[in-house]
Amino acid sequence: LLIGDYVGHVPGIPRVGIPDQNLNDGPQGFRCNAIQSKCIPGTSTAFPAGLALAATWDPSSAQVWGAAMGAEFYNKGATVQLGPGVCLARVPQNGRNFEYISGEDPYLGSVLAKAAVEGIQSQRVLANAKHYILNNQETKRDTVSVTVDDRTLHELYLPPFEGAIDGGVGSFMCSYNRIDRVNACQNNATLRTILKDELSYEGYVISDWAATHSTKSLPNGLDQEMPGGYWLGRPLLRAVEEGTVPVADVDDATVRLLAQYFKIGLMDNPNPNTDVSKNVSTAAHMQIAQDLAINSTVLLKNAMLGSSPILPLNVERIGKIVVIGSDAVTPTVSGGGSGHVTPSYLPSPLFAIQSRLRRPNPGHRGRRGGPPDAAGNQSDADGEVVFYETTTAEALAAAASADVVLVFVSTTSSEGYDRPTLAFGPAMDRNVDALVAVETLAAKTVVLAVAPGAVLLPWADNVAAVLLSFLPGQMYADA
């Protein structure tokens, strides 16, 4: 096992017709990172995160999401997409909650995981359900030991993984944490007794990177070590020769893996793509990313402004918008770690807003028209958009004469550590607080928030509207 152009690579055996295995991150698009010398960041689509898909409550969206990602993985030569992430969100600070399509609902997770897996594998790429199981925090993820009773395990934590099995998922990834003081990647109770026997799972289990701890992992249910053969290479060969690991267990692991490659047609028709540097982000996929970002946006509040709700904005009747916050220029659209994807294109929300306020004036060929006045007369001017990075005195003065104030706030998270706070942070909150301190400004303030999971909204009761997106991908601005 080697790391080359992909985060995981197993050379094929042409003599017996076994193709290369090319595994790559991640759960919301093809990730290029520093160790992949030929993989160029920005050559794949940064789709909305798994948690954003959970917010759609829509299996068809999950299927489309999976199929679009699967196509990009296939076109870059991958045989396994290391996703979807399906863990249940139980610790709100978890740095990887944004990756998981289940949100806090095990039934939702089971339905969406099935759809996402079917979408990915429709493109002749094996999906990988992760991280199995009871993986609910990043801080101390290698040492924490999780204990749950049998009913809780079966009613809360297992359903999303069962949904993936119902979708025919080819591979699972076992997690870093321990379960009842036994590492998840060599836990006989969860891997063999529950997953393979009770749930009748026919696919294979991959370790998370460097999560294999001994040759005992194979007889206890692990089938493939990643990213190298530190334990399941020569040490496994010695264990088989010494009789401590049965040959039958090696055969079972081999059959499980190869059977999945046969199932999706990769044994008979290996993936011909070999250029991992190829740009596989297409206009069609960017449109899908935009549609998914729209469908996953959550309207948390929508107060009345006059005789109608403030949202949706009637751009034909808006003369001036004040936009506040650096995210209006450079939006936060994804998390960090193996779930990060460098966007192939990242439009600016500020530019998108400006574009929407440019309206043709039907009475003047080639000219632009502003909103009609009380008498129905239309000006020749575009609507005005004014941007401020923070709520300075100048910004507050401009807001006083605006029809609406849009404030962008965001926070993100990453693999490897949990979020230190559920807040957006003092600077972001100050931008909103300065507006809500003035009643007339608060009544026309709309907050556009991006977060990787649960988040604190201390000003929500005092603003007119709140839109929340869960790391919505590269087309957030146009959405």
CA dihedral 144, 145, 150, 152 (to 10 degrees): -20
CA pair distance 102, 132, nearest whole angstrom: 13
CA pair distance 259, 124, nearest whole angstrom: 14
Report DSSP letters for 262-287, one per residue.
HHTTTTTS------TTS----HHHHH
Amino acid code (one letter) for 312: P
Neighbours of 247 (CB within 10 A): 10
- CA 297 vs CA 107, 160, 258, 384: distances in Å: 21, 22, 40, 26
CA pair distance 435, 395, nearest whole angstrom: 10
CA pair distance 59, 62, nearest whole angstrom: 5
Q: At residue 449, what are phi and psi to the nearest 5 degrees?
A: -110, 145
Q: How far is CA 83 from the centre of its chain?
A: 9
- CA 117 vs CA 4, 47, 92: distances in Å: 26, 16, 25
**Residue 208: active-site member:** yes
CA pair distance 351, 281, nearest whole angstrom: 22
CA pair distance 137, 96, nearest whole angstrom: 8
Please choose, from the candidates 375, 412, 399, 466, the residue with its C-alpha nearest in 3D space to the C-alpha of residue 99. Answer: 412
Beta bridge partners of 183: 178
Active-site residue, selected from the candidate residues 5, 58, 208, 478? 208
Residue numbers annotated as active site: 208
